[in-house]
Amino acid sequence: MTGFWRWVAALASAAAVAMAGSAAQAAEAQPATDTAIAPGTFSRGDPIPEWVHPVAIPPTKRSNPVVTRLADTQFRAGKVNSFYSNRAIQVNASAALARIGQYQLYYVPQYQKLRLHRVHLLRGDAILDRTASSNVSFLQREMDLERGVYSGGVTVALLIDDVRVGDTLHITYSVEGSNPVFGNTYSENASWDQEDPIELRSVTLSHPIERDIRWQMQGDFRSGRQNPELTLSKTHRQLRWQEAGIDGIDSEPGTPDNYFAARAAVQ
C-alpha cells in the first residue's frame, strides 16, 4: 500500500473515497479512449519554473528491480496553485523495463496546464534527451460515471523508446491550476513511502506568509516522523521535508481501509 501526503487548508472537508470494487467495475465498463485536449493546456520542452529549487539525483547501489533514486515534489500555493515533480527511476531488471518505457502523467485540462520540462535517459555517463521524441497520447477514462461523477481528467501516456537495464528515467514536469470548486481552500497530495525503495524523498511547500498552513504526519506501520526545515523570505514561507534511504513497503492483500501502512501527513 502506498502512502500519501495530504495538504489541507483550514475548513477543508475530507474527500469521499470510492469503494475499490466499484472503481474496478467502472474501469472495466469505461475503457480508456484517445481524446483531444484544448490547445495550450499541454506543452513540452518548457523551462523549469523560477520558483523551483534544484535537487540533485543521488547515486544508488541497490539492486532491486526498480529503485527510485529521487522523488522530489514541490508545491507552491498562491493566486495560481502549482506543483513540480522531479523523478529519477532506475530499472535493474528486464522484466521491469515497462516502468520507464511507459510513463503516465495526469491533469484536468478544464482548469490545469501541464508543462513537460524534461524526459532524459541516464545511461552511464550519457544523458539521452527523449523530451521531443517520446510518443505522447492523451487518454480519458471516467471511473465514476455510474455514480454520475465526471472528473474531466486526462492521462498523458508517454512511450519512451530504447530503454535498457541499468537506465534511469529522469522526468520533470509541472502542473498549474486547481479546481475552482474549492475556491481559496488549498489541498494537495503526494506519496512518501512506496513499494519501491527511494534513495531521496523530498517534499516542499511554499506559500505566502500571511496564509496559515497546518499539517500532521500519521502512519500505522512506520513510526518515523519527518519534521520540516523552515525557510522564510520577505513574502513566502517554505517547508521542506526530506528523508534518505527509504526501504520499500510490501503490499498485503486484505489490508483494512483504515490501516495506513505507509506514513502520511495530514494538514
The parent domain of residue 64 ranges over 5-266
Q: How far is CA 238 from the centre of its chain?
A: 19
Report residue 149 as a C-alpha cell. Answer: 461523477
> Tell me, what's the pLDDT at 144?
54
DSSP, res 111: T
Whole-Å CA distances, 22 to 37, 140, 152, 249, 263: 28, 18, 19, 26, 26
Residue 3: pLDDT band with limits 50, 70, 90: very low
Measured CA to CA, the distance from residue 143 to residue 82 in angstroms comes to 25
The pLDDT value given to residue 8: 36
Number of domains, the chain: 1
Would you tell me how many other CB atoms lie within 10 Å of the CB of residue 243? 16
**pLDDT mean over 213-228:** 67
What's the pLDDT at 15? Answer: 34
Tell me: pLDDT of 12 over 80. no
**Confidence at residue 5, expressed as pLDDT on a 0 to 100 scale:** 39
* Phi, psi (rounded to 5 degrees) for 146: -65, -25
pLDDT band at 18 (very low <50, low <70, confident <90, very high): very low
The pLDDT tens digits for 180-191 are: 888 888 877 777
The most confident of the ranges 77-81, 111-115, 186-190, 230-234 is 111-115
- Cβ atoms 243, 226 nearer than 8 A: yes
CATH number (domain holding residue 122): 2.60.40.3140
Indicate the pTM of the whole model.
Answer: 0.81
Helices (H), the chain: 20-29, 98-101
Task: Quickly state the pLDDT bin for 20 (edges 50, 70, 90).
Answer: very low
Confidence class for position 122, pLDDT limits 50, 70, 90: very high
Which one is predicted more confidently, 165 or 192?
165
Least confident of 39-53, 185-199, 216-230: 216-230
**pLDDT tens track for 22-69:** 333 434 445 667 788 888 999 999 999 999 999 999 999 999 999 999
- 133-174 pLDDT, tens digit per residue, is 999 999 987 555 455 555 689 999 999 999 999 999 999 999
Q: Are 247 and 67 in contact (CB under 8 A)?
A: no
